[in-house]
Structure 1
Amino acid sequence: MASFGFLGLGIMGKAMAINLVKAGFDVTVWNRNPEKCAELIALGAKHGDSPKEVAATCDITFAMVSDPAAALAICQGEDGVAAGIGHQRGYVDMSTVDAATSQEIGNAVTQAGGRFLEAPVSGTKKPAEDGTLVILAAGDQSLYQQAVPAFEVMGKMSPYLGEVGQGANMKLVVNMMMGGMLSIFSEGMSLGMKSGLEGEKILEVLSAGAMANPMFAIKGAMMLAEDYTTSFPLKHMQKDLRLAVELGDKLAHPMPTAAATNEAFKLARKEGYADEDIAALYKVMK
């Protein structure tokens, strides 16, 4: 059985790594704040002292960090993944980054003798805990095949999308759409309730028609309860929207709705809701 490393134990990474450990895999974990490793170690994981050490001792190392800067930081430098990978070991970056960052990380890994796969995920805290994420893989196909047993524990679907960059692009497209849907949903809920409609009735009507979807049901209930317990941090959605708009600029592709949505999320960050759930966008709409 392959040995797995896991770097980054935030909201998503911790849940994903726990599922690997509980499935019986040999897992070594690392986090910038080592205290976050304690729960995994109690469940049977090993602790690595650095990304370099984890990459040097595991067959495949997975990473799940917050943004492009963090993804580059754990790959580069004397204690980074690229310094330890070598010998055809595999590195799977599951962070949401832009295609250029993913390609830069992939080049560093392959030049060091390793194999690289990008595999950003679609899903938030609950799907991560339940092992029902959608994993968007692209890059080295032999590494993809080797990683499938782990993907099957962490997710319900893991399509192979081709060359490095296509997984990142797919994730940005998906999250751009999600952010846009949440923005108009927040506006609609706010408008309806300001006009005297009951929030529960709005959700009931939506759930019966063509716009019925799990996100509206889950986030709508959070809005009505004014409970913004973080499942997907608002600041991370704004980062994804920014990257999607940048991709549109690069391709000279018009993005009027995504650009407006990005500005709405930036306003929510300015109002102090960066670390709350994406549903907190509603607070700036109402």
Structure 2
Amino acid sequence: MEVGFLGLGIMGKAMSMNLLRHGFKVTVWNRTLSKCDELVEHGASIGETPAAVIKKCKYTIAMLSDPSAALSVVFDKDGVLEQIGNGKGYVDMSTVDADTSSKISEAIKSKGGSFLEAPVSGSKKPAEDGQLVILAAGDKALYDEVVPAFDVLGKKSFHLGEVGNGAKMKLVVNMIMGSMMNAFSEGLTLAGRSGLNPSTLLDVLDLGAIANPMFKMKGPSMLKNNYSPAFPLKHQQKDMRLALALGDENAVPMPIAAAANEAFKKARSMGLGDLDFSAVHETLKKPDHSS
């Protein structure tokens, strides 16, 4: 099966590498073309533009950073729309809002192509291990055709109905995750400041009803102030913002998510946007007046 892949950030690179490892032919494109080099060493081909990738491949997957990137790859010069047509499928796995997904879907379908949104739950390690959860919505026939690729990229994939539902589900999941990360950070800080050993708190949490993989995975590195990015904080804050907008549309009060969003914005203002989203922990540190 030949697949095109647009976008080789933390997630896209890991996902396209997985497809190559499992015998897929992959043609890759990235805005910074040098990012393609490592994949070429593992057997990938390079497409000079998104349009060139679409022309060559029956199915193309995109994994881009935000709504503006997702739109520009489709609508700009040498973009997806220049070559998409009958018999070609476009799968956008970026995390965007439902409106962005709908715009892309309508444009692809107007050219005769088929469209699936398929954002994922999971960050760098699940992407590397093929353990993502894929939240697809849109053209069911295309979904059925690309399931072999989804089976390599994820541990489970869902078809959630019409375009927009995948985007909404992803935003709800990431809103909960961002809110949890803030509560977790406050707990670690409170334990330390009140004379407890935060490492013991991690052990206690892991044995109780709120044990979860995120606390287990992120806690030890947070205690070492290690925030190498699996999921960059600036993207987490973007997802909080989009989730809050979804709350506005549906008149859902979201005071906890709103407070979490403010904490992520504070972290961005401190220059932590490119670090892992767990770096929101740094917003709770006492200011150092020793200098």
TM-score when scaled to structure 1?
A: 0.98
Q: Equivalents in 2 of 1:78, 1:198: separation in Å?
A: 56
| In structure 1, distance between residues paired with 2:169 and 2:82 | 29
SS in 1 for 2:87: coil
CA distance in 1, matches of 2:209, 2:224: 25
Say if 2:159 is the partner of 1:150: no
Gaps of 5+ in 2: 286-291
Q: Secondary structure at the match of 1:150?
A: helix
The secondary structure found in structure 1 opposite 2:196 is coil
Matched, 1:11 2:43: no
Equivalence for 2:202? 203
* Whole-angstrom distance in 2 between the partners of 1:83 and 1:246: 32
Query: Per-residue deviation at 1:77?
Result: 2.3
> What letter matches 1:232 in structure 2?
F
| 1:118–1:168 contact (8 Å) kept in structure 2 | yes
SS at match of 1:113: coil
Name the CA distance, whole Å, in 1 between partners of 2:154 and 2:64: 17
Q: How does 1:122-133 map to 2 (within 5 A)?
A: 122-133=121-132
Amino acid at match of 1:94: M
**Deviation at residue 241 of structure 1 after TM alignment:** 0.3
How far apart, CA to CA, are the structure 1 residues paired with 2:113 and 2:148?
20
Equivalence for 1:116:
115
Name the aligned partner's letter for residue 276 of structure 2.
D
Aligned to 1:25: 24
Q: Give the aligned residue type for 2:123.
A: T
Instruction: Please list every run of 5 or more consecutive structure 1 residues that lacks an aligned counterpart in the other structure.
Output: none
Structure 2 partner of 1:36: 35
In the TM superposition, 1:113-262 aligns within 5 A as 113-262=112-261
Secondary structure of 1:227's aligned partner: coil
Q: CA deviation at 1:197?
A: 0.5
Q: Is the 8 A contact 1:268 1:284 kept in 2?
A: yes
SS in 1 for 2:99: helix
> Percent identity of the aligned residues?
59
Provide the residue aligned with 1:106 in structure 2: 105
**For the residues of structure 1 that align with 2:147 and 2:171, how far apart are their CA atoms?**
22
Structure 2 counterpart of 1:271: 270
Secondary structure of 2:158's aligned partner: coil
Runs of 4+ off more than 4 Å: none
Indicate the RMSD between aligned Cα atoms, in angstroms.
0.7
Count of aligned pairs between the two proteins: 285
- Match in the other structure for 2:74: 75
* Structure 1 contact 222–279 (Cα < 8 Å) conserved: no
Distance 1:240 1:20 in 2: 27
Q: In the aligned structure 1, how far is the partner of 2:61 from the partner of 2:280?
A: 31
CA shift at 1:136, angstroms? 0.3
TM-score (norm 2): 0.97
Q: Aligned to 1:12, what secondary structure does the other structure show? A: helix
